Amino acid sequence: MAMTRQQELPAGPRMPSPLQTLGWWKRPTGFLDRCRRRYGKRFTVRLAAQDPFIVISDPDEIKQVFTAPPDVLHPGEGTRILEPIVGPNSILLLDEGAHMTQRKLVLPAFHGQRMKGLEPMITEVAREQIGSWPRGESAPIHPRMQSLTLEVILAAVFGIRDGARLDPLRDSLTRMLDFGMNPLSLLPPARRAPFGRGPWATFLEVRARTDELIYAEIRERREREDEGGSEIINSLIGATHEDGSRMSDVEIHDELMTLLVAGHETTATQLAFTLERLTRQPEVLRNLVDAIDGGDDDQYLTAVIRESLRLRPVLLNAAPRTVKKPIEVGGIVYEPRVHLLASAWLVQHDADIYPEPYAFRPERFLDSDPGTYTWIPFGGGRRRCVGASFAQLEMAIVLRELLRTTRIAAGIDGPEATRRRAITATPARGGETILSGR
């Protein structure tokens, strides 16, 4: 949709918008790198049938975007494609006061003590899953990590590992997520389905079944007034609005779906990227195994995870902020109907901030914590991912359990390229890895 008024925007690629869209989706990191080399740390990208995106990677400008008043920039509008999966009450989609209200209700589920209570469960799932993986053959590690992280998030959310109760939900969620990972499947043409039932009708059936299972779980917890334990569903059921009222079943459903989606795919992909890098950096891998064996209080393991999140961010940018009121960023006043996009990929591969930015060097984070506006794999500001600590805890446990018992080696020669999978970036071949016993 065209803008209602003309304004002077930063320079950017001059090729037609369909070609920019092709580069954006097919070669996302290469496209971003080329644009920065030519246009600097701020440039305009014009994607087909959308208002302009201003890609920024200067930390000061990122700070201005992340700290802007919530009525000036709306991040929720940039994630509308996820609404059919997560529902309209998801904190991913809400803006202004509604977002902050919902965020306050969700945050206690990720309190430190609750996370501590989940560690034994994550460890148990990791050991079971890793112990079942075949040895001695090259295979993509990404699908295996997807299976593992799905088991973890289901157990974390519902606190159950009973097959009879989990199997139907696992099946429905897997089918929903497979559909959602193809962005074209959520666009209007797929819904019209001129021939036969079409994928949209199938998706609606699967979603209805998933909703039925989740609402049944919510009702059962309410009826037995179960608000204890570490499971996330109980935290949401026990949460209250400022007026003392409880969250509605619909609100709880939408937040649970958000956690199940966001807490599954992204963590699995980041783990796959981490192993892809470790198998090609023998010195880093050796140092990590020695640190795990020696029980060094996870300092080096934490540094490896932070460096993986810097070098290969699964989300290449923070949620786009749609300008609702004029705002000045970096000396430029942006009018409504443009999108400001803080690029995690570009700021985290900036040689001015990270020397040798394309090298995998965990030592960067041994003596210093990541910067608030220079390390943004989980976004930032009011919209920073509420599950960031949980994701890093899960990654640490999985890597520790894997490397404690297993040797890993690259399944193919050379590094794997990055390809886009819906809104995430993944190893092009799924992280081909050979596992063998230690």
pLDDT digits 0-9 by tens, 309-366: 999 999 999 888 899 999 999 999 999 989 999 999 999 999 999 999 999 999 999 9
The answer to whether the CB of 124 falls within 8 A of the CB of 142 is no
Q: What angle do the packed helices 96-106 and 249-262 form, to 10 degrees? A: 80
Least confident of 27-41, 80-94, 356-370: 80-94
Q: How far is CA 107 from CA 91, 171, 232, in A?
A: 11, 28, 10
pLDDT of residue 177 exceeding 70:
yes
pLDDT of residue 106 exceeding 90:
no
What percent of the chain has a predicted confidence (pLDDT) above 90? 47
Quote the pLDDT of residue 300.
96
pLDDT of residue 157 exceeding 50:
yes
| β-strand partners of 138 | 434
Least confident of 52-66, 101-115, 133-147, 260-274: 101-115
Domain 80-313+372-437, CATH homologous superfamily name and number: Cytochrome P450 (1.10.630.10)
Q: What is the 3-state secondary structure (H, E, C) of the chain?
A: CCCCCCCCCCCCCCCCHHHHHHHHHHCHHHHHHHHHHHHCCEEEECCCCCCCEEEECCHHHHHHHHCCCCCCEECHHHHHHHHHHHCCCCCCCCCHHHHHHHHHHHHHHHCHHHHHHHHHHHHHHHHHHHHHCCCCCEEECHHHHHHHHHHHHHHHHHCCCCHHHHHHHHHHHHHHHHHHCCHHHHCHHHHHCCCCCHHHHHHHHHHHHHHHHHHHHHHHHHHCCCCCCCCHHHHHHHCECCCCCECCHHHHHHHHHHHHHHCCHHHHHHHHHHHHHHCCCHHHHHHHHHHHHHCCCCHHHHHHHHHHHHHCCCCCECCCEEECCCEEECCEEECCCCEEEEEHHHHCCCCCCCCCCCCCCHHHHCCCCCCCCCCCCCCCHHHCCCCHHHHHHHHHHHHHHHHHHEEEEECCCCCCCEEEECCEEEECCCCEEEEEEC
pLDDT of residue 220 exceeding 70:
yes
Quote the pLDDT of residue 253.
86
The answer to whether the CB of 11 falls within 8 A of the CB of 44 is yes
What is the separation of C-alpha 293 from the centre of its chain, rounded to a whole number of angstroms?
30
Quote the pLDDT of residue 13.
95
Q: What angle do CA 430, 418, 358 make, to 5 degrees?
A: 120
Which of residues 110 and 269 earns the better pLDDT score? Answer: 269
Quote the pLDDT of residue 25.
87
Identify which of 46-55, 112-121, 153-162, 222-231 has the greatest average pLDDT: 46-55
Quote the pLDDT of residue 52.
93
Domain boundaries in the chain?
80-313+372-437
Which of residues 83 and 257 earns the better pLDDT score? Answer: 257
Query: Which residues contact residue 336 at a Cβ distance below 8 angstroms, ignoring those fewer than 6 apart?
Result: 4, 322, 323, 324, 325, 326
Quote the pLDDT of residue 192.
46
Distance CA 151, CA 146 (A): 9
Enter the tokens of residue 400.
């520790």
Q: What is the mean pLDDT of the chain?
A: 85
pLDDT digits 0-9 by tens, 178-196: 776 665 554 554 444 544 4
Which of residues 83 and 402 earns the better pLDDT score? Answer: 402
The answer to whether the CB of 346 falls within 8 A of the CB of 402 is no
pTM comes to: 0.90
